[in-house]
Structure 1
Amino acid sequence: MKSFLWFVVGIGAGFAIAHQVNKTEQGKQFFDELDRKAHDFGAAVSEGYRKREAELRAVIDDAEDTIADLS
């Protein structure tokens, strides 16, 4: 329980410090850059997922066609 309390205190302190840093111009630039990088990363992961899903669907379709031809 003591570890959980310190965990919650750490999260609260982190949010308070981040809020204070975000009030400065350098802090705004930092968090804007961090937000952009996180968005770009998420978009890249989503794009990779969609491409891989399309590849797998194409392979499955080919396999289904091959099985149908064999029948």
Structure 2
Amino acid sequence: MESHQLTPDLSAAEWRKARRSGSEGGNCVEVARNLPGLVAVRDSKHPTAPLSSSPPEEWRLFVLETKAGRV
């Protein structure tokens, strides 16, 4: 059976740069949390490159684990 991955519609995405992203062009991450059932993440230096997405609960857990230093 062939698997097809659906590409989410990001036309309404409201991208926000992470507060800790530096102004010198280092590690810059943008997150869109306004999409129904989806949190999208992209590299702000390459906005048309492939991105990552996850359900909101998985994103919340990722953020919590990162803040706790476990990721």
TM-score, structure 1 normalization: 0.25
TM-score, structure 2 normalization: 0.25
Greater percentage in helix: 1
Greater percentage in strand: 2
Greater relative contact order (CA < 8 Å, ≥ 6 in sequence): 2
Query: Between Structure 1 and Structure 2, whose CA radius of gyration is higher?
Result: 1
